Chains A and B, each alone.
Chain A
Amino acid sequence: MSDLLEIHQLSVKLQNKVILSDVELSLQAGDILGLVGPSGCGKTTLLNVIAGFIEPCSGQLTIGKEIKVSADNMIAPEHRNIGMIFQGYALFPHLTVEANIRFGIDKLSKQEQAKRIDPLLDLLKLGELTQRYPHELSGGQQQRVAIARALAPQPKLLLLDEPFSNIDARLRNELMIEIRQLLKHLNMTAIFVTHNKDEVFTFADKIAVMHQGNILQTGLPSAVCKQPGSWQVADFLQLGSWLPVVVQVLEQSNSLISAIGDFVLEKTPLKNDPIAEVHSDSIEIEEFIAGSNQNESLQLLIKPQFIELCKSDAPANVQVEHISITEQGYHYLLSSLSRDNCLKFDQLSFYTDVLLTIGQQIKIAIKSHDFVVFSNINP
């Protein structure tokens, strides 16, 4: 399949402030992309550039075959054939549900209009509500109307700006699944913006993580979680905690020294499954160790599922700082007992069914797995 959307070296400046710099992104027809990142990273700006509300100062943006936008060739939003669902839905308060949905296609003949609207009303279960006004609808109903309105002109690309942020947490998951099924049914290409990573995992086929006006990594959600390209990605997606480690280069094997024990790096598993080198601060461990200085300090990403509790008579290496209760058992934040400045930590996340008390000192160990190490992090 060919790419429906292609963005090349796109930059945006607003009031002399760089909001987006050299953004690269492509999206295949029929894919749903989840655009995530901390607030202020430029997600909504990127969406507005694609929609045509903000002009890029350089770079190209191609939608389908016909629409090619650059700084010299701005195309007005109404000529881009893009549908958009806004954060507050932006339903026209003075028009009924039906008139809202009809708004974008009122140049078509009455029959054509009905042909488009009726199936949408059925799909979105809006048949009963056509004569109501937006303020008479619940949040979920309003959102359905917004979707029907955006889909009625049969756009090539659908943009959704935090579509689920105003929905009750309990209903949210249900709605996301429902709408995802609808978009898949229509084979609609969509980009949706959120700051909630869980929404991406439920709703999107692909994920793009943004940070300070840049897209750091794009890919399948599972792949990105397994191998985050940079510490910001791992940090934003809250993939685990940071464990300070120091490299020790030896003749037979290399090892990482940490406050909770040393890990001898066997070379075979790493070779078979090397850590992707996507960005400058993501490092293939072996390669890095080969060229690194003895005793250089790094940060090891530790996912909670790789931490295990050792027998209670073993000498302790961490202390419990905070306890909370979750569906996955007790969640503890642990701090190191080591006094070594380079190695100490205080925010290690850990889940277990065993009840501990605050201040209790325990021993934990890390199960063997593919390590992901970063240098220069600043979480």
Chain B
Amino acid sequence: MAPVLVMLFGGISASTELFTHLWQTVLPDYIANTLLLGVLVVLLSLIFGVTAAAIIFHTNVIGKNSLRWLLMLPLAMPAYLVAYLYTDLFDYAGPIQRALREWFSWQSPADYWFFDIRTLPGAALILSLVLFPYVYMLARTAFEQQDQTLLKASRTLGLSAQQSFFKIALPLARPAIAVAASLVLMETLADFATVQYFSVNTLTTAIYDTWLGYGDLAAANALASVLMLFILFAVIAEQKARAGQRHQSHSPDKNHEVALLNTVQQVFACGFCWLLAIGGFILPFSLLIIMALEYSDVEQLIALLPTGKNSLEVAFYAATITSFIALVLGLYRRMCRDRWRTLPQQISGFGYAIPGTVLAMAMLATFGPLDHWINNLAEIAGMQEPGLILSGSIFGIIFAFVVRFAAIANGTIESGINQIPHSVDFAPPSLGAGLAKTLHKVHIPLLKPSILVAWLLVFVEAMKELPAVLLLRPFNFETLSTQIYQLISDEMLEQGALGAILIVLFGLLPIIFLNKNNEKKNNKNIEENT
């Protein structure tokens, strides 16, 4: 938390002259782009996600069982990869336009119209294609958990199944959908590589350019502070939405009716869902595999090893430390009767909202001076100067990851802890066991699956995270994501196709794992109901 405050402070104290300069030149554009992008992505994600969730849960669409989980896979795709692959596919020199020109014997771009993907709407489309699963997952879960007697009641009061969906199911799912929308908004505001690649100037790209391009830390801080304000808005929206999620029946009736679609509806519903699954995952992943098959060789594989090792190392440390802290905070909250016991967990959860770029700026703003101070101290003490040990080592990256992903681990472990009945806390002391033994023998073994999931989620997010690493990495330190980003910037992704596949595969792990757990729970529910 402290680094963000330092950054805000630095941002405010940045010379007003510089800020007015920014305001008079590029800042309004950047802000407008950022806002427009956010609005577009949220809208598209809502349309994609809610419609898909409604189709999957409320209708008998063909291929429902495969689509259920296929629609979650786009989450594993880093947006900048999809952006690159689609640009390759759809731009003037790409195979689609070439084929069109050949078929219709068009000569030049003047002969026909074709959409340009490297624009703001294009970036919005790409981001929504990989972010809509947030909405889809939360909306579907919300529909699944609704008490189905509410829909039945609506039917007996004269409303058709369709009307009941819009008047009952959708309004009741609204808090969950709002949470998902604010997650999408946070991810969009945090995105750096996609907009950078599409040359859409937003606040994140501006921060990056101001720092790395012009070396102006104060201005970068100022921009990061502006971005932070937008994020704050998203966070408040999310908190408000969560506060609305309180009505739940105690033993909801889960046996639900499925609307039977006619052929035309079936074609549309099926087409819609498959388009999303193909557009968000199947097509880009296939393109990657084709690319890898065409261009990869053993040499590349060997070249992959050191960067891969860096990625794994950073992700491993980040995941382990974050899970450990989350476990300690979660147990502290459960076991202590202190009035403020929830506070540390809440504060540490705030980090997820902070875009990697902003976080990196905050780290630099804080640890840079701290490093200088340490070096000065060492000099005075007559020791060898340790160099930039905080801001210039992987310590900075790992620290940033821990801050950024604490919320994920907290949430997962917290829900695990909540599933342990409170009586379990009281049983061991009644049997003469102390706190240490209680935790060691009872809670931690019970929490093992949650800890594993938390670890896995953080690990994967850390593998994917790009902007923070870009800004904080020591010289010549490459991870898979920075390497791929570099190759994408140089239009040479072919060289990194294998690494990209690796990132996607790692990203699939938690989705598959979580989905399996979910299905198990669902099956159990169904068995209990029949």
Does B172 contact A94, Cβ atoms closer than 8 Å?
yes
B156 within 8 A of A: yes
User: How far, in angstroms, from A224 to B471 measured CA to CA in the complex?
Assistant: 84
B522 within 8 A of A: no
For chain A, residues 32 to 71, give those with C-beta under 8 angstroms from any C-beta of chain B: 51-53
Contacts of B149 in A (CB 8 A): 86-88, 90
Number of interface residues of A (CB under 8 A): 27
Does B152 contact A88, Cβ atoms closer than 8 Å?
no
For chain B, residues 45 to 60, give those with C-beta under 8 angstroms from any C-beta of chain A: none
User: How far, in angstroms, from A135 to B159 measured CA to CA in the complex?
Assistant: 24
Does B247 contact A93, Cβ atoms closer than 8 Å?
yes
Chain A CB within 10 Å, residue with most, of B156, B167, B257:
B156
User: How far, in angstroms, from A80 to B253 measured CA to CA in the complex?
Assistant: 22
Does A90 contact B155, Cβ atoms closer than 8 Å?
no
User: How far, in angstroms, from A278 to B328 measured CA to CA in the complex?
Assistant: 70
Does A93 contact B172, Cβ atoms closer than 8 Å?
yes
A251 within 8 A of B: no
User: How far, in angstroms, from A104 to B150 measured CA to CA in the complex?
Assistant: 13
Which residue of the partner chain, among A78, A84, A92, A153, contacts B168 with CB atoms under 8 Å?
Answer: A92
Number of contact residues on B: which range applies?
20 to 34
User: How far, in angstroms, from A155 to B155 measured CA to CA in the complex?
Assistant: 13
Does B250 contact A52, Cβ atoms closer than 8 Å?
no
Which residue of the partner chain, among B157, B160, B161, B246, contacts A153 with CB atoms under 8 Å?
Answer: B157
User: How far, in angstroms, from A267 to B380 measured CA to CA in the complex?
Assistant: 122
Does B152 contact A84, Cβ atoms closer than 8 Å?
yes
User: How far, in angstroms, from A377 to B530 measured CA to CA in the complex?
Assistant: 29
Which residue of the partner chain, among B147, B156, B171, B249, contacts A84 with CB atoms under 8 Å?
Answer: B156
B423 within 8 A of A: no
Does A88 contact B249, Cβ atoms closer than 8 Å?
yes
Our count of residue pairs bridging A and B at CB distance below 8 angstroms stands at: 68
Does B530 contact A90, Cβ atoms closer than 8 Å?
no
B26 within 8 A of A: no
> Shortest beta-carbon distance, B255 to chain A, in Å?
9
Residue of B with least CB distance to A86: B149
| Interface mask (A114-147 → B, CB under 8 Å = 1, otherwise 0) | 0000000000000000000011000000000000
B5 within 8 A of A: no
Does A104 contact B249, Cβ atoms closer than 8 Å?
no
- Given known contacts A90-B147, A90-B150, A94-B171, is B249 in contact with A78 (CB within 8 Å)? no
- Given known contacts A78-B156, A83-B156, A104-B158, is B530 in contact with A88 (CB within 8 Å)? no
User: How far, in angstroms, from A255 to B149 measured CA to CA in the complex?
Assistant: 56
Residue of B with least CB distance to A101: B157
| Interface mask (B218-255 → A, CB under 8 Å = 1, otherwise 0) | 00000000000000000000000000001101110100
Contacts of A52 in B (CB 8 A): 155
Does B157 contact A88, Cβ atoms closer than 8 Å?
no
- Given known contacts A53-B152, A86-B149, A86-B152, is B250 in contact with A104 (CB within 8 Å)? no
Does B157 contact A103, Cβ atoms closer than 8 Å?
yes
Interface residues of B (CB under 8 A from A): 147, 149-150, 152-161, 167-168, 171-172, 246-247, 249-251, 253, 257, 530
Chosen A-B contacts, 7 in total, with CB atoms closer than 8 Å, are A52-B155, A86-B152, A88-B147, A88-B253, A104-B157, A104-B159, A149-B157
